[in-house]
Chain A
Amino acid sequence: MHVRARFFASYRELVGASELEFEVPPGATVAEALSRLRARDGGFGRLPTSVAVAVNREYATPDRGLEEGDELALLPPVAGG
């Protein structure tokens, strides 16, 4: 199934893309999807081992299951305000 990853700020610069559609096995978790991303060529392997994520615009834990078409956002430490 397909998942859409989004990258922001320093992570966007690290991987050189703001979004990417990629394939994960059906029923994959957030952690499994992140492993797939890190295995890609380029800057993906330099993503930190612990990354905050949101699934469909809500913060999610690594064991969260993904579904077809989910939006998986990788969020650097936040610095608003």
Chain B
Amino acid sequence: MIRAEVVEDPIDPSVLLGLVGEDEDGAVLLFLGVVRDHNDGRPVRGLRYEAYVEMATEVLRAIADEAAGRLGTDRLVVLHRVGVLEIGDVSVGIAVSSPHRAEAFEASRHVIEEIKKRLPVWKEEEYADGNRDWVAGISPAPPPGGESP
């Protein structure tokens, strides 16, 4: 079962792991993106993620489907949290499982890299000095020839 969701509640890694893994799987892989206490040399106190939720949900599902194609199984879960997060909180959780490890690593990597490139989510950092700023992101490019008339 492929699951891809934008969530507001904390992400529980054990729940993710419980959603993947079958008897034929020799590899179960968990990736967590975690809020760290610095960025570009500035101490960070916390973060707020804002999303275009309707679109982000669809894009995350498309990314998950692509990754499942590489994985060769449908045992893939990805959650992206939005709202206010503290240091150490999980912002992204990805769990996959497959009979062999190579596919699991490749699929998991695909999910996080594509999230960085095209998920319509923005990150506002709050610094130790009380200032706030939007993190400089990656300009999402439309797929070549995709939506043009």
Residues of A within 8 A of B (CB): 6, 8-10, 50, 52, 54-55, 57-61, 63-65, 73, 75-81
Contact = CB atoms under 8 A, between A and B. Distances in A.
B52 A73 contact: yes
Given A52-B139, A81-B115, 19 more contacts: A9-B50, A54-B55, A57-B54, A59-B147, A64-B147, A73-B120, A75-B140, A77-B140, A78-B122, A78-B138, A78-B140, A79-B123, A80-B92, A80-B115, A80-B120, A81-B80, A81-B91, A81-B119, A81-B121
B142 A60 contact: yes
B58 A80 contact: no
A10 B134 contact: yes
Contacts of B58: 57-58
The B contact surface, by secondary structure, is mixed
Interface residues of B, number: 37
A6 B52 contact: yes
A81 B147 contact: no
B26 interface: no
B2 to A, nearest CB: 19
B122 A8 contact: yes
A36 B68 CA distance: 41
Contacts of A59: 118, 140-143, 146-147
A64 B54 CA distance: 21
Given A59-B147, A60-B147, A80 B49 contact: yes
B33 interface: yes
B148 A81 contact: no
Nearest to A52: B140
Nearest to A74: B52
B149 A78 contact: no
Contacts of A9: 50, 122, 124, 134
B112 interface: yes
24 contacts: A8-B120, A9-B122, A10-B122, A52-B139, A52-B140, A52-B141, A54-B52, A58-B147, A59-B118, A59-B142, A60-B146, A61-B146, A73-B52, A75-B140, A77-B137, A78-B137, A79-B135, A79-B136, A80-B49, A80-B51, A80-B56, A80-B115, A80-B116, A81-B91
